[in-house]
Amino acid sequence: MEQIYVEKTASRGIAVARVYKHQEPEWTPDQHMITAAQMEEELGKFRQARENVMQELSALASENEIFAAHLEIAGDFALQEGIEAKIAGEQKNAQLAVHEVVEEFAAIFEAMDDAYMKERGADIKDIGKRLMEKLKGIQRQDLGMLREAVIVAAKDLYPSDTVKLSPEFVKGIITEEGGVTSHVSIIAKSMNIPTLVGVKGILNKLEDGMLVCMDAGKGIIVTEPEEEVQQEYLAKKQAYEEERARLRRLRELQAVTKEGKRISLCVNVGNAEDIRHALDMKIDGVGLFRSEFLYMENSHFPTEEEQFQVYKEAAELCPQELTIRTLDIGGDKELSYFTFEKEENPFLGWRAIRISLDMKEMFKEQLRAILRASAFGHVRIMFPMIISPEELKAAKAIAAECKTELAQEGKAFDPDIELGMMMETPASVLLAEEFAKEADFFSIGTNDLTQYLLAVDRGNKKIADRYDYFHPAVVKAIGEIIRAGHQEGIKVGMCGEMAGDSRATELLLELGLDEFSMSAGSIDDIRAEILKEQA
């Protein structure tokens, strides 16, 4: 018997079952170069494979929104153009061209600091594997055929694998790679399948048919457990399921503190599909819609109309407010179709609102799209990385220009749309009182705020223990932001990781936070913490 401790919990829960090791096919591409005479044949192979993949994804998109996003990626002109350029320009065979371009595109996302954006690289790789299946004439194992209780162990799973799983038979998932914000994790959560990801070297410790106990909440895997341990885990599993059932019942209750204050519980999302997944949690709305994802999955700056359709769909889905953060690229987030100059300190460089104010026409296209979507729901606009009242006033002035233009064009929008800002820089804390006179609301971004206040790179593992949003300086800053906002009568929310950490709930309530926005998987626990305070 061996007990293994794991850091990344993607979907909590407890399972006791035998291991099923999922073997990936051999994806290594042929390495040979082609002659000019073979070029058309290889281009034809790729185009046929792409057409077949598009047809598959079109059928799947009606069953799961994730595949609608995959369909967009597969149809991306930049992806197609890049692959065809490798074949025609560099004389690489279709398999090698697909492999190289998919890896290049995925690497753009995987290099990002934002966990949500980082995991989109897996979606691109899933498309690549579909293309390779067609080109190599191979078939992946169909996990939907499993008909006995198992814990699936794999190097990684992709959305097209995970969506086939049946919770009746798949009692748990363990992968060597992947992250907690991946689409695989989202699907596993929606199916209530306990899932641990990023467990390095685990396949070397697990064998097909080996009995395993796993507690995905605490991050524990027990191999070949003794009978007493098995019974202990089965009892824990029953208790856990009873507790989750209790938390689901709490969804019918509003999050109200013991003082009678109604707290808003919202989610952070990247698209309308994420909102759909969260609706069962009885959310109050979206506290952070990451609009940069729309830019990053495109082969060009999205047009006003393209953005409008996305924001409109999101607004119609939201039960209450939809807070759209304007473009937040730069730093670790880049675009395949736009070249950023190399910067020594990109997190302190040309990013977020600085780009928007410098690229006014692009900014106006986004603001016009958001304003038009505001006719279909309660939409709010949030500006990122503001460091001076002048920046906020400039952004508001451009929004006012857009309102005037839309009114002249006879296009509907909410004339009273709220314009707020992220509170994520030391400057925003020190000038909170001034900002509160200009902004309609605040949203505290604790991820960047903690990083900037403590001068700690949150992506640097050597100093990870120093990245602490419970640090007295961070707590004091949060309190000051809330105090300044309430002094001017504006709502103060939080959309950083701290909002979804149940250890921080009591503290944040004491400080007076009005809105908690987090990943959907944390909503039940934070609601329970708030209601516990009521008792």
- Indicate if the pLDDT at residue 64 is higher than 70: no
- Does one domain contain both 94 and 208? no
- Does one domain contain both 46 and 186? no
- Indicate if the pLDDT at residue 517 is higher than 80: yes
- Does one domain contain both 91 and 120? yes
Whether 301 maps to a domain, the answer reads yes
Quote the percentage of the chain above a pLDDT of 70.
Answer: 95
pLDDT tens for residues 358-405?
999 999 999 999 999 999 999 999 999 999 999 999 999 999 999 999
Distance (Å, whole) CA 370 – CA 356 = 14
Residues marked active site are found at 183, 495
- Does one domain contain both 68 and 193? no
Question: Among residues 184, 210, 226, which one ends one of the domains?
Answer: 226
- Indicate if the pLDDT at residue 125 is higher than 70: yes
- Does one domain contain both 161 and 54? no
Closest CA to 159 of 249, 57, 58: 57
pLDDT tens for residues 429-464?
999 999 999 999 999 999 899 999 999 887 676 887
- Does one domain contain both 132 and 150? no
CATH number of the domain enclosing 70: 1.10.274.10
**Averaged pLDDT for residues 508-516:** 98
Which structural domain, as residue segments, surrounds residue 271? 259-530
Number of domains in the chain: 3
Whether 471 maps to a domain, the answer reads yes
**Averaged pLDDT for residues 472-480:** 98
Closest CA to 215 of 521, 2, 5: 5
* Spatial CB neighbours of 436, under 8 Å, sequence gap ≥ 6: 442, 484, 485, 487, 488, 490
Q: Identify the pLDDT of residue 332.
A: 56
More confident residue, 162 or 243: 243
- Does one domain contain both 107 and 166? no
pLDDT tens for residues 295-328?
877 778 899 999 999 999 999 999 889 999 999 9
Report the run of H or E that residue 9 belongs to, with start and end. strand 9-11
Instruction: Report the 3 state secondary structure along 258-317.
Output: CCCCECEEEEEECCHHHHHHHHHHCCCEEEEEECHHHHHCCCCCCCHHHHHHHHHHHHHH
Q: How far is CA 220 from CA 194, 215, 223, in A?
A: 11, 5, 10
Distance (Å, whole) CA 144 – CA 213 = 22
Whether 238 maps to a domain, the answer reads no
- Indicate if the pLDDT at residue 111 is higher than 70: yes
Question: Among residues 136, 151, 171, which one ends one of the domains?
Answer: 136
- Does one domain contain both 148 and 131? no
CATH number of the domain enclosing 214: 3.50.30.10
Whether 114 maps to a domain, the answer reads yes
- Does one domain contain both 321 and 408? yes
**Averaged pLDDT for residues 216-236:** 95
Model pTM score: 0.74
- Does one domain contain both 161 and 272? no
- Does one domain contain both 356 and 383? yes
**Averaged pLDDT for residues 122-138:** 89
